[in-house]
Structure 1
Amino acid sequence: MDTATASKNPDTRSATDRGLPWAEIDTVLFDMDGTLLDLHFDNRYWRELIPDEYARLHAHEPELARQRLFAEMERIRGQLRWYCLDHWVRFTGLDLLALKVRLERHIALHPHALDVLDTLRVQGKRLVLVTNAHPEVYAFKHARTGLGNHLHRVVSAHALDCAKEEGCFWERLQTVERYDPQRSLLVDDNLAALASARAAGVEHLRGVRYPDSRGPAMQSVDFHLLESLAELLPDRRLHAYASSPV
């Protein structure tokens, strides 16, 4: 499957998935990691670099240290603490932001991400980043991608004290960004977040087939997964983006 050039891939969508009713959508809520940004950076960081550094810090029992780290990840997965930089600094004793610099060359926008954002802005859509990422992590990635310059607003789950996997996130989002759930689209690679949004009444939902451009394809029977962000371009003539090199 070619994740950069959607036109090379077979169209496997059903008839009901061939397009979005853009006339009925005012607000587009975008996730960051795995949706607009390639998840490859985060996967290498959390699955390789952090375990290696934590094991090195506990050189007398490196394998036990790895097991302890992975157990904590599983224990709080889907909770706001999982995404909390402060929690992991306390748990690991590592300078997590400094370690991110080692892999910063892997921070990358997904193909067509900026084309889609800029096109939707021209179409008059309100673009809001809704991310579980810690504000310092967002700032780190924005400084390297300029992502925030293409959005109307950025909302971190930490500001709402509630992860996107929890129903309270979508209720509390209304206190800082008024949106009509029935006229909103959420694009997110996190299936639990999509399910939470659906339960909260968000009408239009799209997942991401390849959050990590070098990882396996995501599968879902509940949500339509985008093969490429270029599928979001509302005007068919703009699908030329999908066949152009990044």
Structure 2
Amino acid sequence: MSFIRTTEQSSHYDHLEKMSINELLTNINTEDNSVPIAVKKSIPQIEILVTQIVDKLKNGGRLFYMGAGTSGRLGIVDASECPPTFGVSHDLVIGLIAGGDTAIRSAVEFAEDDTNQGWKDLEAYHISENDVVIGIAASGTTPYVIGALQQCNQHNIITGCITCNQGSPLATTARFPIVVTVGPEFVTGSSRMKAGTAQKLVLNMISTSTMIQLGRVKGNKMVDMQLSNNKLVDRGTRMIMEELDINREKAAYLLKNHGSVRNAIDNYERTK
């Protein structure tokens, strides 16, 4: 079925090379301001998909992101931030990219055109009906992603997507599509710009709301974050000071003794 690729339509701006630096920055910013508005319109779609994800993860399932190029990298970034931010295992949210780890830094020619490799990559993780797979592709036409989701559908695995083209093959393949229509890019076809920003915002919403629903936030604090550097240790100490109304020395002791903000608070409250 044919559809209009709005992400490929000509930019609203021309003669970019003749613009001053200030004009370039101002016009890019003007276009960027439209992205959150477009994302807001997709909240009902995001809510439906997050509801599915939470249900599966509460019952032992996993969340997979799949994409190529910028879309794949954005999925990997979001997945990689979940363990340090929310203290979950590294195999709860998994990001896959066409071309494998090499493609995180360098383009792997034609990797995204393989309709079978995406499913093979999922099979390596023993994908099952307990899991959720989200395909990410601004164009909505990436064979690596579409082929994987088609196989998932056949195996009764929940599928979602994040795309920026209404009616695209990806949007019609995913059972729970999220379509954020951002329109033409400032540089024609450069979907790392508005489309990439939209995808990042949606990924933030998906992972953060899911983790909150899974109980990984207390109040508004990341009480399960990994204490992997001095900045985070200091942040954790301050969280405990604020929550328990105790001094820094005692808070630091509790954090070191119990290994996480949550454990420190819970154990302190139990011994009061």
Query: What is the TM-score when the length of structure 2 is the normalising length?
Result: 0.28
Which protein has the larger Cα radius of gyration, Structure 1 or Structure 2?
A: 2
Tell me which of the two structures has the higher relative contact order, counting C-alpha pairs closer than 8 angstroms and 6 or more residues apart: 1
